[in-house]
């Protein structure tokens, strides 16, 4: 597979810029909270600008990895610092770049601003690295390091039960990665035995399929467990509601918007690319788990009394759709899956921001204690409605495009799974509309009556998100044009391997 190298190492810059920002904030005194906030926003905005510049520079129709930076790192193990971007990772990088400044602006904290900003910036570096790494070892490093800042964000700025949630989140993911690391090493050493080359380079490992069929299945399974925890796939999802609910607003936004995508992206990038045969053989299991996740997540979401927990469970259902599309092995399913990763990041990110804004005003997330907010905060209600409808999958908004492509792609190859999954769309409408109705409709009484509407800062944060939600719903072509070549290439690769 061909790779185009960059003259200016823009991808390295994208990963290092927030990390440098994190180190700089460490040098600023604690008391200068305003300076710290500005530095944090500046670095995230600069990173966002770089990711957008990267998207502009991205060559449409080129299916290979672009703008590759490649430097040897640990020679003893054939490990290198190798970053590259293709249609599958492109929009996830942009999504990460865009969500961070919005999360920082949309949900400012008051306690210990310095550490908060530093952890957010380090978290961003880790997230971007995860999506850009083309070396298995490097990917694993980023995949794991992300846990540390997120652990501190949940544990330091979260709600009442934060210690439990932070540790649970950390240990679940770490346990998943334990299997992945062993699988990764097995793959690399077996590849060395077959070819004589010891390398962690993703492309080299994938293009020369060196594993016997049964071995490949075991190794794929090891990878799949690691990613399934992160997605999270039923029944490994139990860390998610706790982590999402207890995390501070910005933490939830990034957790749902970016971190969960690492699982679905990983399974697409590594699972399918490295082990095409095994992925095809084991697809029924993953499809079934995805469908269970869709319906289970939706039903449990319906029962929630806590608005944030409801949104958290809706993620379980939505991520199930992405896995469904991925393992349909059709171009529509895969493209829809990739697009849906971005969509979910936008709409669930926005939902968590809105829930955070409600909490700031009312200091409760209990649906029963809210009501009639449409009268007291009409703008917030309108924004919530647009975002909620996008999450439901209303035509004209982004969620519809992704879900439609996924169901279309799945129906062609796995009809019955698609049929069951469609029920998830209806259930999503049930829990989200019902929640909206209980929170925003009816008479506004007591505390619900006199709360301020969105201020300028909050509006500035929500407008870009809603603009993207609408744009992707109406005209997804520019985005899909960049996703499709890479998706087709992956499918060709799988077809060849399956022969």
Partner 1 sequence: MMLAQTANQGQLRIPVEYSAVLPVLALIGGALVLLTWSSLTRHRRAGGYALVTVVSGAVALGGAWRLWNRIGDHGPIRAMADAVVIDGFAVFFMVVISIAVVLAALVGDAYLRREDLEGPEFHVLLLLSASGGMLMATANDLIVLFLGLEILSIALYVLAGFHGRRQQSYEAAMKYFVLGAFSSALLLYGIALVYGSTGSTNLATIATYLAGNVAVDNGLMLAGMVLLLVGLGFKVAAVPFHMWTPDVYQGSPTPVTGFMAAAAKAAGFAGLLRVFVSTFDTLKLDWQPIIAVLAVATLLVGSVLAVVQTDIKRMLAYSSISHAGYVLVGLQAASKRGIAGALFYLLAYTFMVLGSFAIVTVVARRGDADHDLESYRGLARNRPALALAFTVLLMAQAGIPFTTGFLAKFYVIAAAVDSGSYVLATIAMLAAVIAAFFYLRVILVMYAPAAEGDEPLVRLPVPRTVGLALVVTVAFTVAVGLLPGPVIDFARHATLIF
Verify binding: residue 449, partner 1, rule CB under 8 A.
no
Nearer to partner 1, 38 or 182 (CB): 182
Verify binding: residue 238, partner 1, rule CB under 8 A.
no
Task: Answer for the pair 391, 430: CB distance below 8 angstroms, yes or no.
Answer: no
Which pair of structure tokens corresponds to residue 378? Answer: 């009409």
- Rounded to an integer, what is the distance from CA 240 to the centroid of its chain? 13
Verify binding: residue 152, partner 1, rule CB under 8 A.
yes
Verify binding: residue 163, partner 1, rule CB under 8 A.
yes
Verify binding: residue 148, partner 1, rule CB under 8 A.
yes
- CA pair distance 206, 217, nearest whole angstrom: 14
Among 167, 382, 420, 491, interactor with partner 1 by CB under 8 A: 167
x/- contact string, 76-95, with partner 1 (CB under 8 A)?
Answer: xx------------------
Interface stretch with partner 1, choices 74-82, 235-243, 265-273, 298-306 (CB under 8 A): 74-82
Verify binding: residue 171, partner 1, rule CB under 8 A.
yes
Which pair of structure tokens corresponds to residue 146? Answer: 């992300």
- CA pair distance 294, 308, nearest whole angstrom: 18
- CA pair distance 485, 299, nearest whole angstrom: 36
Verify binding: residue 475, partner 1, rule CB under 8 A.
no
Nearer to partner 1, 45 or 197 (CB): 197
Site for partner 1 in 177-236 (CB under 8 A): 178-179, 181-182, 185-186, 189
- CA pair distance 293, 424, nearest whole angstrom: 9
x/- contact string, 53-72, with partner 1 (CB under 8 A)?
Answer: --------------------
Task: Answer for the pair 168, 180: CB distance below 8 angstroms, yes or no.
Answer: no
Which pair of structure tokens corresponds to residue 18? Answer: 């927030």
Task: Answer for the pair 357, 458: CB distance below 8 angstroms, yes or no.
Answer: yes
Among 58, 116, 170, 384, interactor with partner 1 by CB under 8 A: 170
- CA pair distance 399, 339, nearest whole angstrom: 9
How many degrees, rounded to 5, is the angle at CA 437 between CA 433 and CA 438?
120
Residue 304 CA: distances (Å) to CA of 118, 351, 367, 442? 34, 16, 9, 20
- CA pair distance 485, 64, nearest whole angstrom: 9
x/- contact string, 20-59, with partner 1 (CB under 8 A)?
Answer: ----------------------------------------
Number of residues that bind partner 1 (CB under 8 A): 31
Nearer to partner 1, 25 or 347 (CB): 25
Interface stretch with partner 1, choices 167-175, 334-342, 361-369, 391-399 (CB under 8 A): 167-175
Q: Which of 289, 324, 295 is nearest to 407 (CA)?
A: 324
Using CB under 8 A, list all residues that contact partner 1. 73-77, 111, 140-142, 144-145, 147-148, 151-152, 155-156, 163, 166-167, 170-171, 174-175, 178-179, 181-182, 185-186, 189
């Amino acid at each position: 597979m061909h790779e185009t190298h960059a003259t200016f190492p823009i991808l390295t810059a994208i990963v290092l810029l927030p990390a440098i920002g994190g180190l700089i904030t460490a040098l600023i005194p604690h008391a200068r909270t305003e300076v710290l906030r500005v530095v944090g926003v500046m670095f995230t905005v600069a990173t966002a600008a770089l990711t957008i510049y990267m998207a502009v520079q991205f060559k449409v129709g080129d299916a290979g990895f672009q703008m590759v930076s490649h430097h040897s790192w640990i020679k003893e193990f054939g490990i290198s610092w190798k970053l590259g971007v293709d249609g599958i990772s492109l929009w996830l990088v942009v999504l990460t770049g865009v969500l961070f400044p919005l999360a920082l602006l949309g949900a400012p904290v008051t306690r210990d601003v310095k550490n908060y900003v530093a952890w957010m910036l380090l978290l961003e570096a880790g997230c971007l690295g995860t999506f850009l790494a083309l070396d298995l070892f490097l990917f694993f490093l980023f995949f794991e390091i992300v846990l540390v800042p997120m652990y501190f964000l949940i544990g330091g700025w979260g709600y009442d039960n934060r210690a439990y949630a932070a540790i649970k989140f950390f240990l679940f993911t770490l346990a998943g990665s334990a299997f992945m690391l062993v699988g990764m090493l097995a793959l690399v050493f077996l590849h060395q035995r077959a070819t004589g080359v010891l390398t962690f380079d993703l492309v080299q490992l994938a293009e020369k399929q060196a594993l016997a069929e049964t071995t490949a299945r075991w190794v794929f399974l090891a990878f799949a467990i690691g990613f399934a925890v992160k997605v999270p796939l039923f029944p490994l999802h139990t860390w998610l509601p706790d982590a999402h609910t207890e995390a501070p607003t910005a933490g939830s936004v990034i957790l749902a918007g970016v971190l969960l995508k690492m699982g679905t992206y990983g399974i697409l990038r590594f699972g399918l690319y490295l082990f095409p045969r095994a992925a095809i053989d084991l697809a029924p299991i993953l499809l079934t788990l995805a469908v269970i996740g869709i319906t289970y997540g939706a039903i449990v979401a319906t029962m929630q009394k806590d608005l944030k927990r409801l949104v958290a469970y809706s993620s379980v259902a939505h991520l199930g759709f992405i896995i469904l599309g991925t393992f349909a092995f059709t171009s529509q399913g895969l493209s829809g899956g990739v697009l849906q990763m971005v969509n979910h990041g936008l709409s669930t990110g926005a939902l968590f921001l809105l829930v955070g804004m409600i909490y700031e005003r009312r200091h409760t997330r209990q649906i029963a204690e809210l009501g009639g907010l449409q009268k007291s905060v009409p703008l917030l209600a309108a924004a919530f409605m647009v975002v909620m409808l996008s999450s439901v999958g209303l035509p004209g908004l982004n969620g519809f495009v992704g879900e439609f492509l996924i169901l279309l792609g799945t129906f062609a190859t796995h009809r019955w799974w698609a049929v069951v999954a469609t029920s998830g769309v209806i259930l999503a409408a049930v829990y989200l509309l019902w929640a909206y109705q209980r929170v925003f409709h009816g008479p506004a009484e007591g505390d619900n009556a006199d709360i301020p509407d969105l201020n300028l800062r909050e509006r500035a944060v929500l407008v870009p998100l809603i603009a993207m939600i609408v744009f992707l719903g109406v005209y997804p072509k520019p985005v899909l044009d960049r996703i499709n070549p890479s998706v087709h290439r992956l499918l060709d690769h799988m077809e060849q391997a399956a022969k």
